[in-house]
DNA sequence: CTGATTGCAAATAGTTTGCATAGCG
DNA sequence: CGCTATGCAAACTATTTGCAATCAG
């Protein structure tokens, strides 16, 4: 599944990397420590240092994207391009909102500043579906 | 200048707090270490622990706002409500864009999810004015 | 005065690095 | 086989905490 993506970036396909990517895909968004715990369940000898090293490489290569979160350590997600993030004020769950178009705001900002922007990150804070019941 | 704001929140008005707030206002956006260095220039005995403690309190009380930044430690700004941030990919400078209206995107997200959001944070990445020359 | 705040030092948490070994290509 | 990647331990950086002294109200 991720073999191809790694090979294309000239990164070696190691089980650690596969498990890291698989786990992030499953979790949607994962912090370093969560990820280490989860990967250890299937690959018990994996070290925290390996998680750190790989996260850096994978972010560098745009396979992953870092999502900075208000008041916490960042989480990481598979890079699927710009989209809106939601962060629940109660449970802290991070989720994606794929259907809100960020282009109009980007266009407005470019119009006002006369510059082009490479990336837009939008984070909304509120109560998520499960917590509002 | 900030006496009133502190008093309203029932926080004691100490020179350290005044200098922290003054410095953030002057710098626009400041990280913990920058802030410590700058405040030390005028109040040389201030400790890093005091900076940390006050930043927490001031964020808690909504006097300051934390701005999470992709790949770095967060910076802090005087809380002036939701607005768009720019981060220069070259020099790293963080700046504000006050005139882009975030309400339409917020409304769209609320429409799609059926929930209300308390806050929207938008970060644009690109090359800033000075760096594009 | 009295409780909040400060500064220091020590403790804790988070991240990076160096190096010997293992394993991908 | 050669070089990258891993795991470990140690180093380093960042943040928090406990406590005695200080200061604002």
Query: Do B53 and B25 lie in a common domain?
Result: yes
Provide, in whole angstroms, the distance separating residue A37's CA from nucleotide D8's C1': 18
3 state DSSP class of B95: strand
The pLDDT of residue B82 is: 96
The mean pLDDT of B77-84, rounded to a whole number, is: 97
Query: Do B74 and B19 lie in a common domain?
Result: yes
Which pair of structure tokens corresponds to residue B108? 């769209």
* A120 belongs to a structural domain: yes
Q: Which of residues A78, A97, A114 is at a domain's end?
A: A78
Residue A133 has pLDDT above 80, yes or no: no
pLDDT tens for B31-61 read 999 999 999 999 999 999 999 999 999 999 9
Q: Which of residues A78, A95, A119 is at a domain's end?
A: A78
- The burial class, CB within 10 Å (0-12 / 13-18 / 19+), for B50 is middle
Query: Do B20 and B62 lie in a common domain?
Result: yes
The pLDDT of residue A130 is: 83
Residue B130 has pLDDT above 90, yes or no: no
Query: Do B25 and B50 lie in a common domain?
Result: yes
Query: Do A44 and A7 lie in a common domain?
Result: yes
Answer for the pair B67, A123: CB distance below 8 angstroms, yes or no.
no
A53 touches strand C (CB under 7 A): yes
Q: Name the residue range of residue B35's domain.
A: 1-78
Chain C positions within 7 A of any protein Cβ atom are 4-10, 14-18, 23-25
A127 touches chain B (CB under 8 A): yes
């Amino acid at each position: 599944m991720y073999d191809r993506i790694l090979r294309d970036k000239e990164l070696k396909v190691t089980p650690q990397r596969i498990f890291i990517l698989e786990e992030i895909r499953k979790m949607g968004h994962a912090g370093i420590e969560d990820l280490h715990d989860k990967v250890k369940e299937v690959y018990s000898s994996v070290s925290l240092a390996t998680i750190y090293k790989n996260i850096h490489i994978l972010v560098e290569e745009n396979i992953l994207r870092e999502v900075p979160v208000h008041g916490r350590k960042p989480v990481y997600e598979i890079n699927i391009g710009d989209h809106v993030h939601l962060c629940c004020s109660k449970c802290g769950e991070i989720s994606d909102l794929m259907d809100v178009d960020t282009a109009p705001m980007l266009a407005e900002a470019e119009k006002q500043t006369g510059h082009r922007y490479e990336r837009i990150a939008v984070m909304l804070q509120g109560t998520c579906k499960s917590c509002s019941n």
